[in-house]
Amino acid sequence: MFSVNLNCKLLPFKKFATDSTASLPFLYKDELIFNPTSSECCKNQFFINFCSTVDVGSPELKSGTATSAPKKKKISKKLAKESSYTISYLINTCGLSPEKAISASEKVHFETPEKPNSVIALLKKHGFSKTHIANLVRRRPVLLLSNPEKTLLPKLEFFKSIGVSKVHLGGTISRDPTLLTRSLENQIIPNYNYLKSVLLTDEKVAAAVKRTSWVFLEDPEKNLAPNITVLKELNVPQSCIILLLTHFPEAILQKSDEFRASVSKVVEMGFNPLRSTFVLALHAVSGKGNKMIWARCYETYSKLGWSKDDIYMAFRKHPNCMILSEKKISRTMDFLVNKMGWDCRMIASCPTVLFFNLENRIMPRCSTVQFLFSRELIKKDVKLSTVLLPREKYFLEKFVTKYEKQVPKLYDFYEGKIGIEEL
């Protein structure tokens, strides 16, 4: 790295642009640092238009005004030119921010756009959006130097052949472009064959890879196969194993010792391995993220009046109630308990209602039923499940059309077209 003590006017950083020959000096504290490939330049708020003043090998750098830091390699003109062009391309063509572009340029260099252009053209042809391409390049910039026809195309066509549509292909791969760096013959296809033997259909395999790319990146014999054996030893039905691997593959891809611990915990909680709630509960207690959410849900329900028994009862009935957001739980419980007057423990016995949309389902139905209460057209001991669980057709038959003679505008009220005062 070279430092140059020169008096230059600093220009605020508004736009980052460069051409194929410009150097990229930048401000670092009180010195000009010439290091176009360093991510440190992104931490500063100023770039200096210094291209015509200082370059590698210029008189300034050769004179006494420039000092060479010990143990630092001199930046060649070729490297500076490649870095400058690469950064410009990553920003203007790939959509990366200046900071991400400079970071990516440390891993890939090119002087001409032929190869990266051909890679980007291939990705666009297969449904990758600008955002997908930016994410892919940011995570794996070296893919821009891949052979698009020999290296990338066969893999893209393979994933399309098993049912990963154009709509999902870009999102799936851009989240983890490592998929495109693995061998098709030695890893991707063998993993596919194993997954197909478990999931039975390409549709299920495609659903699993859309959830997490790790089903194709990790050797199945390492964790997946042993974890499936654990489930089979408990007589978990094949349909439940398929459910877990298709929709929650991250749970069954845990390290074997962690997976066994999660299974033991679910068994201790009283879940029946023969039912689908067993694998749903297994997902809810698996991984650091879900464990933290489970603990927050437990705390939220406790604050809202549920006992430990209430919480475990709700969890056994609907395991996903322990991975809801605190906001969702609090808003729904507040309306049902404080506005409608239902006992909070009644909700614990029917946790499914916590998953319904508050504005579109819970409030219209409950407001309609509450109005019928006030007119004494129905008894107040109506069950929460009777109000919120039935399909729309059956709810309307039981609580709306049945009372249209007594309340002609009840349907309009239910639809939110008129207020209660107009009834």
- State the DSSP string of 390-409: S-HHHHHHHHTGGGTTTSTT
| Cα–Cα distance for residue pair 9/14, rounded to 1 Å | 15
What does the pLDDT read at residue 172?
94
The H or E element that residue 2 is part of is strand 2-4
How confident is the model over 369-409, as pLDDT tens digits?
999 999 999 988 888 999 999 999 999 999 999 999 999 99
Q: In the block, which residue shows the tokens 């260099």?
A: 109
Cα distance between residue 194 and residue 205, in whole Å: 10
> For 102-155, how does the pLDDT look when each residue is reduced to its tens digit (9 = 90+)?
999 999 988 889 999 999 999 999 999 999 999 999 999 999 999 999 999 999
Residue 20 reports pLDDT greater than 50: no
Q: Taking residues 304-308, report their average pLDDT.
A: 95
87: how many CB neighbours lie within 10 A of its CB?
A: 25
Residue 369 phi, psi (nearest 5): -65, -40
How far is 157 from 29, CA to CA, in rounded Å? 50
Summarised one tens digit per residue, pLDDT across range 328-365 is 999 999 999 999 888 998 999 999 999 999 999 999 99
Residue 269: which residues within 8 A CB-CB, separation 6 or more? 281, 312, 315, 316
Amino acid code (one letter) for 169: L
The pLDDT, as a whole number, for residue 121 is: 97
Residue 284 has pLDDT above 60, yes or no: yes
Of 44-48, 72-76, 125-129, 329-333, minimum mean pLDDT range: 44-48
Residue reference for tokens 């019928």: 372
pLDDT reading at 37 higher than 70: no
Going by C-alpha positions, the residue among 302, 303, 326 that lies closest to residue 312 is 302
Pairing relation of β-strands 31-34 and 26-28?
antiparallel
Residues 6+ apart with CB under 8 A from 346: 384
Please give the mean pLDDT across all residues of the chain. Answer: 84
Q: How far is CA 216 from CA 210, 221, 385, in A?
A: 11, 12, 42
Residue 148: burial class (beta carbons within 10 Å; 0-12, 13-18, 19+): buried
Domain parsing of the chain, residue ranges? 2-93, 113-181, 360-422
Query: What per-residue confidence (pLDDT) applies to 77?
Result: 63
Whole-angstrom distance, CA of residue 11 vs CA of residue 23: 16
